[in-house]
Structure 1
Amino acid sequence: MKKIIAYIVCILFLVSFVSADLCTESDDGKDYVEAGYVKYGVIKYDDLCVLSPDADMRVEEGQYLKEYYCDDDKREHKIVDCVREGFEKCKAGRCVSSSGNVSQSSQPAAPVGPVCGNKIVESGEDCDPPTKICYKGSDIGLCSVNCKCEIKITADGSEPDEETDASDENDSEETVIEKLDEETETVESESEKTTKTVEEDSVEDKDGISTEKNRLALPKEPKKGIFRRIWNWFGNLFS
């Protein structure tokens, strides 16, 4: 009986000893910037670059990293997109930056926000560039330094919102109208010149003269004297 108890104790001790070292790893978890490995029992699994998340084919360089780690003494792995995590690529079982050196952070790169002043209306902007005329539906405004359309003239004649930037405090309704006039001044000037030319060319009178200028340039007929007009009157009377 004592031998049986001794055997049971030995077996339990061996099982606990083996299970304690069943899964070990070299890089302390999910470390994308270090090429580590996991040892599960007597088998060693190295971190490696793979062709794609679905194709478990090892490559020297690529976009995806197969990272091994231990979880409750179980061997686990995760497919990591190095580009999405802010790196350039996967190389030799680790994610590397564009300079070829290992990045110091596995956090994804911060997204770049809109750039006000590049003449491109991006997400979060109402207009671009600043100080130009902008529109919100039927309302007219000026583009602020923050690329927000500050309404100055409303379609229904109501007062615009009071939320304006400090740089736009002096931009009154008259200022907006002046800017609109400046933008259309060239077009209107050309239109007036064209209309004037057409009107001059289209003037005709009883003399058949095409323009007023040419008609005025013709020699004037001399006026008849009073005796000649009396003589003509008598002639017409007895004829």
Structure 2
Amino acid sequence: MKKIVLLLLILIPAVYAQLSWDVTDLRCGDGKLDEFELCEKNVDKNWCDELADLLEIDTACDQAHCTCAPRVNRAFCGNDKREGVEVCDGAGDNFCEEYGNLIGLKLSCNPDTCGCKIDDAVPADYNPLIVDELEQQANARAVCGDKEIGRGEDCDPPNTLCTKGTGEAGVCTEFCECLTAEELVALETENSETERNESAENQIGALENETVVQDEQLDLLEEETEEKEIEQKGFLARLWEWIILVFA
């Protein structure tokens, strides 16, 4: 029995803060004073000075949790007497509402910690992990055929019946696009025309390439003919000079 009690004492935190660390820790350490923080490391503005003036004590920034130091000692919390850094304590004085007005939050006493509860709803996207998860989901590329309708898809899997946003019945294409019968016919017609145009362009391109090759061959033949003519002319000239020398 003693071991169980000792274990429970170890699990229960010995200190508390003015606001729940479950909230303040979410963005603590990001370099700026966020909505549900009392202070932030290396940021001049903080709400610990207001707490110090309100409770008439000296405070500092608890950089580990973005709340104020000193922390509330659990040993004194619950005696119905607000003292030290406690913002409230049972039937004792309660400064949570007043402190909330100073820092722009709606606060009420949390008798279990002698700190304050945040009565304002903490938005889900205040948690950076949730923001990252949402961004990953938004940026995730949809895979057509995985039987899950992702971003940019009308339907999934392909080759199944689907319903368009207008309520019309359609068929899911290989690109996970829901098309009506009329739209499918129009798409097939467009694809056929595109294929014909591409075929004609390929044929024209082949003819143009063939013409270029023929022109290059003709140019080469002309150059070779000119070179042979020059060689023949040079030979005849040398032969005539030799004849003149012999019979001179």
Task: Provide TM-score, normalisation by structure 1.
Answer: 0.30
More strand by share: 1
The higher-RCO structure (CA 8 Å, 6+ apart) is 2
Query: Larger radius of gyration, structure 1 or 2?
Result: 1
